[in-house]
Amino acid sequence: MIRRILTVVLVLQFGLLGLAGYGFAQAAKGNLVVGVAGPLTGTSAQDGNDIKNGAALAADIINKKGGINGKKIELVFEDDRSDPKEAANVANKLANDKRVLAVIGHFNSSCTLAGAPIYNKAGVVEISAGSTSPAVSQAGPYTFRVIVTDAFQGDFVARWMVKDEGLKKIAILYENDDYGVGLKDVMNAKIPAYGGQVVAAESYYLGETKDFTPYITKLRALNPDAVFIGGLYNEGALIAKQAADVGWKPPFFGVDGLYSQALIDLGGKAVEGTRVAGFFHTAQPDPMVQQFVKDYKEKYKKDPGTYAAFGYDALMVVAAGIEKGGADRAAIMKYLTTLKGLKGVTGVNTFDANGDVIKDPIKLVVKDGKFQPYVKK
Amino acid sequence: MAILQQFAQQLINGLVIGLIYSLIALGYTMVFGILGFINFAHGDVYMIGAFLGLVLLGTGAFNFAAAMLGAMILTAVVGVAIELVCYRPVRRFGKGFEDAMLVSAIGVSIFLETLAQVIWGTETHPMGLVIPKVVYQVGGLYISSLQVLIALVSIGLMIVLHLFVTRTVTGTAMRATAQNTMAARLMGISVNRIVAVTFAIGSFLAAAGGMLVGAYFDAVYPLMGWTAGIKAFTAAVLGGIGSIPGAMLAGVIIGIVETLGAAYISSAFRDGFAFIILILTLLFLPSGLFRVRRGEGKV
């Protein structure tokens, strides 16, 4: 008898919890709702939260100035956990929410690509603050990004390694997903083009591979001049540390995926000397960048990372779309296709036919425990 | 000669990770031997062990060895608590509730993972390592001091376990209970107490594995129990589930096969090798390497 009552109570409880999970958030009337989708938890959580912070800061600043045409921006945050399956769920949720005018997202290229068909079908702009895979260029007319493609970044780093530094034999360790494979393909093409040689390319799994010793042993035996890491900060730190554990210290190179404070927090001394291409640095003299750094520090009590800057720019772009195009999904998209020369903290935003941008990269190096602009000796 | 050297180096890599799998596999195999139940939450107990060690290290009051021992003891308590709260009450319902046990184990697993995420967040935490790291060069092979430490500690623990199980009264009682629970009861063995001891030992070892892995990869995160748990489970099956020497050997085999496979066949397929072994074992050698005769009268 008691058991039966208990069962009924439990079932009711779970039922209520399930309803609560739908999160029927009541937006204040007239707010401009923008979705922000990214990894708020999981192995890329630091980057996802940076984007969230950057976007929230931009929204705050706009709202303090009175909003857009008198209406305030309201952000809705969704966590895709760097999992493409979850990204698709999130995309469905945001696309089906009629109040959402545009979505800033996602971060991981595989997640952006997973969401793209859904956003494009529903006709809502998906603007990524972190996906660099070349595949995103063809993801659809509603898919944009404020970050450059790896085709561009990879080319820059390949030239840096082979031509500027004279490192000819390169070994590649890459993430086995859209991001990493895209990078690997670019490096495989560009390194030989500049006169270098790819001696090996081994892959690993984002968030899952922790033991890199077999790859380190294998690559070490080939004696490369440098190792290019086609992946994100977590694995970058582990690779550097495990290599240092067995006394191997090759020069490590990467693109924006490694450019995160977490690389240094996790990698410590092992990542000293790692070189990356980036698009934002707190020491840049540009007044807009300095104002952003100041505002960010005031709000969050820490320095902004590169993805916070991209998140900030993404929201600025969306805000421009709402302001100039209208509070309507299709109007925003139409406006974005014409957007040219919108200055942001990561560079100037001009969308090409694929919704991509071109920005000038900066050479950065981890020196004395911080990312600093790279100066060739 | 360089090829042989490379091979030897990879063997070392595989051996080290394999020993960790062995430590965790022991927990699976011992619990199965006595209860006929696969404790799916065991991988997460290993994770909790790593986190508890991280917490102890964080207080600054413990050095690595003390933190590891502390974590092992605490995790043993956690393991027993799980048995008392989540498994024993289900077992009391009697025969026919094995599925309920599995569901309970999965529930515990999800609970532990979520609890860890709530308390410590989902990012990866470095251990903030306090062990001096030295690289030894032996005949052209590079061995890190951490690798040596892992080898010594895990082999040491397994030797101690073996002695415990074969030379002490409680250990003999464990073996008796695994062989035939009804007969063990008739001999005056408190089966419930033995079960609790088994969970305690399994969790004790898993925590050691967790700490060593946390130190080796300098990475502790809530979902670390998942992959390691599956591979350790595979090791337990390959070794002959219920067999302690089997688990010890099979863990090393899996570690080596996985590492050699990743190095020589395909790095992308790395985790797949463990699962291939699992499938092949179940197809061709389901009783595993060391067959364990299961008596009647299971709990």
Span B2-121+140-284: which CATH code?
1.10.3470
- Closest-CA distance of chain B to residue A237, Å: 10
Residue B296: predicted pLDDT: 47
Side-chain half-sphere CA neighbours of B13 within 13 A: 29
**Cα gap A351→A348, rounded to integer Å:** 10
For residue B298, pLDDT beyond 80: no
For residue A151, pLDDT beyond 70: yes
Share of chain B above pLDDT 90, in %: 57
Share of chain A above pLDDT 70, in %: 96
Residue partners of B296: CB distance under 8 A and separation at least 6:
B180, B182
For residue A164, pLDDT beyond 60: yes
In this predicted model, what pLDDT tens digit does every residue of B182-229 receive, in sequence order?
A: 899 999 999 999 999 999 999 999 999 999 998 888 889 888 998 889
What mean pLDDT comes out for the span B88-112? 89
Q: Nearest by CB to A245, which of B2, B146, B270? A: B146
For tokens 């004790």, the residue is B204
C-beta separation of B189 from B179 below 8 A: no
Share of chain A above pLDDT 90, in %: 71
Inter-chain touch B270–A204, beta carbons under 8 Å:
yes
Query: β-pairing, A169-175 with A143-145?
Result: unpaired
Q: In which region does residue A133 sit, left (phi positive, over 0), alpha (psi from -120 to 50) or beta (all else)?
A: beta
Q: Nearest by CB to A217, which of B13, B133, B223? A: B13
Chain B partners within 8 Å of A50 (Cβ): none
In this predicted model, what pLDDT tens digit does every residue of A209-249 receive, in sequence order?
A: 888 989 999 999 999 999 999 999 989 999 999 999 888 99
Residue B58: predicted pLDDT: 87
In this predicted model, what pLDDT tens digit does every residue of B52-69 receive, in sequence order?
A: 999 999 888 888 889 999
For residue A285, pLDDT beyond 70: yes
What mean pLDDT comes out for the span A137-165? 93
* SS3 label, residue A184: helix
Give domain limits for chain B: 2-121+140-284
Residue B243: predicted pLDDT: 87
Q: Nearest by CB to A203, which of B221, B224, B267? A: B267
Amino acid symbol at B162: H
What mean pLDDT comes out for the span A305-310? 94
Residue A8: predicted pLDDT: 83
- Closest-CA distance of chain A to residue B121, Å: 8
**Cα gap A187→A175, rounded to integer Å:** 13
Q: B135 and chain A: CB distance < 8 Å anywhere?
A: yes
Residue B299: predicted pLDDT: 41
Residue of A nearest to B131 (CA): A245
Residue A11: predicted pLDDT: 81
Mean pLDDT of chain A: 90
DSSP A366: E
Domains of chain A are 32-148+285-360 (3.40.50.2300), 151-278 (3.40.50.2300)
Q: Which two three-digit tokens encode residue A157? A: 């780093």
Interface predicted TM-score (ipTM): 0.77
In this predicted model, what pLDDT tens digit does every residue of A47-84 receive, in sequence order?
A: 999 999 999 999 999 999 998 988 999 999 999 999 99
What mean pLDDT comes out for the span B6-12? 90
Inter-chain touch A241–B218, beta carbons under 8 Å:
yes
Residue of B nearest to A238 (CA): B217
What is the pLDDT confidence band of residue B126, given thresholds at 50, 70 and 90? confident
Residue B1: predicted pLDDT: 57
C-beta separation of B261 from B269 below 8 A: yes
What is the pLDDT confidence band of residue A292, given thresholds at 50, 70 and 90? very high
**Cα gap A249→A272, rounded to integer Å:** 10
What is the pLDDT confidence band of residue B131, given thresholds at 50, 70 and 90? low
In this predicted model, what pLDDT tens digit does every residue of B140-152 receive, in sequence order?
A: 788 888 889 899 9
What mean pLDDT comes out for the span B243-251? 91
Mean pLDDT of chain B: 89
Q: Which residue has the higher pLDDT, B217 or B293?
A: B217
